[in-house]
A and B are shown apart, each in its own frame.
Chain A
């Protein structure tokens, strides 16, 4: 079975500061990795994903994440955040080669960007 741990439930940060949202996963098989963002009262929007290839993945809104297989991590980073980045961020994994595609989500990290 797979599990996902987002180490920080809340991350407050000032505008234009860098931010890292941490995600670790546990799995006995190879996985695909995803980061989604959820704005208040909305569904989830895909930020970026790692399926294969380069371990540094660039996504929308200036976010990037790096897959580290040895540390089973997929931390999300942005060099300079904006007020509009305030939202809930979810890390998720799914089993590779599993056509069912079930996603396992972390608990979420609330990013709060202050002026």
Chain B
């Protein structure tokens, strides 16, 4: 149980285009989903926290207009990187948790390469 999927697993796009990444909890209802960014050989950096039906809470320094997060249902959250640039290239990982469970379950990640 507690499986989280992400789609796509990798994406290459041109600079200036937008990319949408989906995060789904497959066998549980996720009251909260989290989006992380990970640079090579580094730890995970939390970008934002999203609760179903409400606006996402962004961490300091994360541009909310650039990284649009939508948590439309209890099993789906999306991250849209708008007007992507090469510096947005990274590994994006989502996680999900279901209240009152304290554990976050992670997706397999999406590698984004912006040319």
Contact = CB atoms under 8 A, between A and B. Distances in A.
Contacts of A34: 103
Contacts of A45: 106
Given A49-B103, A101-B32, A101-B104, A42 B42 contact: no
Interface in A29-56: 32, 34, 36, 41-46, 49, 51
A105 B102 contact: no
Interface in B1-25: 4, 6
Contacts of B60: none
A107 B43 contact: yes
Nearest to B9: A41
A94 interface: yes
B28 interface: no
SS of A interface (majority): loop
A100 interface: yes
Contacts of B104: 101, 103
Contact of B93 (A44, A46, A51): A44
A51 B103 CA distance: 9
A48 B43 CA distance: 18
A102 interface: yes
Contact of A101 (B4, B93, B97, B111): B97
Given A41-B111, A107-B43, A108-B43, A100 B32 contact: yes
Nearest to B10: A41
Contacts of A105: 43-44
Contact of B44 (A41, A51, A90, A100): A90
Interface of B: 4, 6, 32, 34, 42-44, 46, 49, 91, 93, 95, 97, 99-100, 102-109, 111
15 contacts: A42-B108, A42-B109, A43-B93, A43-B108, A44-B106, A45-B106, A46-B106, A100-B32, A101-B32, A102-B46, A103-B46, A103-B104, A105-B43, A105-B44, A107-B42
